[in-house]
Structure 1
Amino acid sequence: MSHVVMCHGIGYQYKHRETSLTEWYGALRTSMSDAAHPVPEPERVSAVFYGNCYRSLNTKSAGTDDEFADIPPLRAGDVRDPVESALLDVFAQGTEAPAPGGKGATQAALRRLERSEALGRPSSRVVIWLVRQVRRYLDADDTVRACAQQRFARVVTPDTKVVVAHSLGSVVAYEALCAHPEWNVDTFVTLGSPLGLGLIRERLRPAPGEDGGHTWPHVGRWINVAADEDPVALVKKLGPVFGDKVEDRLVVNLPWFDPKRYVLGGHSVMRYLTTGEVADAVAEALRAQKR
């Protein structure tokens, strides 16, 4: 009976579905209440969780407050895949941090991303780990994509009217919505989406047509919300890429740095969910359902 389905992005490998849903629902409830919209009941909101598709079930650590404790000590020399290198370079170009001098390309990109307030100053090992998750989802030889798509299909119901997806989750959701014309989803809301990046688009399923055009997902409305400060959503407007029907909304997500959590930067899903644009999009989709 889920009317609203949410889908997370990168960095959820050591989190869980219920705890993530509680955080997301709390932020959405706040924004909808602030905007004086009716707030959907908790049982009407569900989440797609594919974080543990990236790991075996017996590698979860316990008894630590550091959500990144199990990330290996990755360094610039560990970035050997050309897609990972290209993603690092693209995301670094979108940051406000100055380019360091006298560094190799990968090292320079990592330094810029580490210094980015918009991302919350993540360590280089976290940056590499997150970029690797994007690359693995897009890798045709990896199992992550199939696992994530299977999870998505399990959560959507005939009552689902709006899908809200953040970061890499917007790629997962786009592919799922394209693959299921039988679903009744009316509205697709993307937050901090990298779908505008050529590196991402050329690896989508379905693939771009011969003219470079992209398939429209099986929804009536697509609202894309991007923060000016978000380096992941480097291409702020998806309309020129996916068609004029995309409703692009630009917001401000000022960074809030907490040494324990990188996620409070401009790319933060919590920042996005508390915007009026997201509250309005969800409320309008739920109102349309009742007509």
Structure 2
Amino acid sequence: MLCHGIGRRTRNRQSMHEQWCEALNTGLHDSGLDRVAADRVTAVTYANCFRSAGTKSIGDPDDEDRIPAFGLVHLRDPLELELLEAFASGVPDPEGSPTKGLPQDALRRLQRSRFLGDPPAKVIIWMIKQVRDYLTDDALRRCVQDRFAAAVTPGTRVVVAHSLGSVVAYETLLAHPEWKIDTLVTIGSPLGLKAIGDRLRPPVSEKTPGAWPGVRRWLNVAAEEDPVALVKKLKPLYGKDVEDLPVLNGRLSAHLATRYLTTHEVANGIADALRPR
């Protein structure tokens, strides 16, 4: 089962399913492993939860042109500013900056880094607002988690969750201890960020480690260049059984889900989960 994250701008579940399956099978093939038939893979999409009645979210436009013209003036929420600085702190600034620590500097660093795929400022702000909405809007959180839960079947063996999707997967797995899912693979996950951990249900911190999500194996794959997966090792926060696996995704689009899916670490973890036991 595949679960997307923040800033997904593909138009529908079918296009996500096709793109992710292609990347996944590329990774499996390149690692000398058996491909997975597309009909064995389920894609979970929750983008339209951001447009559901009863939520206070900003919406989830499919096209970049439809994203409102967000600027720094629209980042007023303390959580949004905390997330902006957290993501930007993982991005080096080769030019140096006399204004380091200010929101405009954090936004500039993210824009110039290209680690997120060279998005304009309004897209970065929109993605941050999506994370804020999930963490603070109860109706939206329920909608997203219900969408995830509806996709789980008795045959679900492995969950691959990207970015915000890793937060969704972790919380929903905790809420369903009856599930018999073998492996959780988190890719580009922000679960190590204090801004996220403080608002998980239940909260997670260095003093209050996170509960185990009820799977046999948890692989956390984090690219060295990925600013969203700023905290590369989740083991200190979520327990010694988390397998933290570093990868190199390259400077361009380091956070991209399809780039993670082509790595040997992800391919090997999925293949292992699908082996008969």
Verify same fold: TM over 0.5: yes
- CA shift, 1:209, in A, is 8.2
Q: Bigger CA drift: 67-76 or 6-15?
A: 6-15
- Gap regions ≥5 residues in structure 2: 54-58
In the other structure, the counterpart of 1:259 is: none
Residue 151 in 1 paired to residue 147 in 2? yes
Deviation, 1:175, is: 0.6
Alignment of 1:161-172 (within 5 A): 161-172=157-168
Find the residue that maps to 2:267 and give its secondary structure. helix
Contact 2:158-2:184 at 8 Å conserved across structures: yes
- In the alignment, residue 79 of structure 2 is paired with which amino acid? V
- The amino acid of 2:109's aligned partner reads R
Cross-structure match for 1:260: none
How far 1:128 moved relative to its partner? 0.4
CA change 1:154–1:108 in 2 (3 A) is same
CA distance in 2 between counterparts of 1:222 and 1:126 reads 31
Matches within 5 A, 1:1-291: 5-12=1-8, 15-56=11-52, 67-98=63-94, 100-102=97-99, 105-139=102-136, 141-208=137-204, 211-256=207-252, 265-287=253-275, 290-291=276-277
- Secondary structure of the residue that 1:185 maps to in structure 2? coil
Moved more, 158-167 or 201-210: 201-210
User: Which secondary structure state, in structure 1, belongs to the residue aligned with residue 221 of structure 2?
Assistant: strand
User: How many pairs are equivalent?
Assistant: 271
Offset of residue 106 of structure 1:
1.3
Q: Deviation digits for residues 210-243 of structure 1, max 9, x if unmatched?
A: 9412111010100000000001100001111101
- Taking the aligned partners of 2:187 and 2:60, their CA distance within structure 1 comes to 28
1-structure distance, mates of 2:249, 2:60: 32
The percentage of aligned residue pairs carrying the same residue is 52
Q: Helix, strand or coil for the counterpart of 2:179? A: coil
Counterpart amino acid of residue 105 in structure 2: A
Contact 1:226 1:250 in 2 (8 A): yes
* SS state at 2:66 partner: coil
Residue aligned with 1:143, SS = helix
Letter of the 2:41 counterpart: V
Conservation of the 8 A alpha-carbon contact between 2:223 and 2:254: yes
In 1: Cα distance, 2:256 partner to 2:132 partner: 20
Give the AA of the match of 2:125: I
Tell me the CA shift for residue 69 of structure 1.
1.0
The CA distance in 2 between the partners of 1:189 and 1:30, in whole Å, is 17
Looking at structure 1, the residues matched to 10 and 48 of structure 2 have their Cα atoms a distance apart, in angstroms, of: 7
